[in-house]
Amino acid sequence: MEMVKGIRGAITVPENTEKAIEEQTIKLLAEIFKKNSLQKEKIISIFFTLTPDLNAQFPATAARKLGLSNVPLLCAQEIAVPGSLEKVLRVLILCYFPENQKVSHQYLEGAKILRPDF
């Protein structure tokens, strides 16, 4: 039996450019897909957030280039909490998974400090 599960992830982006945001989005999504054996057909929606210092590109643009053209995608700005990690791209993927399958959340590069328990 399948159920809806959420997969979280984050990655730091070295600079506020279209290219850097696109490359890091693709890197993060590719790792999430690989570690979870995620199939595009099982995705319900993807929600991206970026810290306020990243505004040169929509992560959804990169996701579309990966063939996610039929998946609802949404981008938003993360809350600007003083002292929080900068240049972070976060993602929440809602998808169908077998009930007994665990998800593998992915926190890459500088974003590893956000969830050391993963």
Q: What is the CATH number of the domain that holds 108?
A: 3.30.1330.40
| DSSP assigned state of 111 | G
Output the CA torsion 77→78→82→85 (10° steps): -110
Q: Identify the band that residue 40 occupies on the pLDDT scale cut at 50, 70 and 90.
A: very high
Is-contact 103 7, C-beta < 8 A?
Answer: yes
> Which one is catalytic: 15, 18, 64, 86?
64
| The amino acid at 91 | V
Residue 8 a catalytic site member: yes
Is-contact 4 92, C-beta < 8 A?
Answer: no
Does position 118 have pLDDT exceeding 80, yes or no?
no
Determine the structural domain holding residue 33 and report its residue range: 2-114
Residue 90 a catalytic site member: yes
Does position 117 have pLDDT exceeding 90, yes or no?
no
Structure tokens at 113: 């400090």
Provide the number of structural domains found in the chain.
Answer: 1
Residue 96 a catalytic site member: no
Give the pLDDT confidence score for residue 115 in this predicted structure.
Answer: 86
Is-contact 44 94, C-beta < 8 A?
Answer: yes
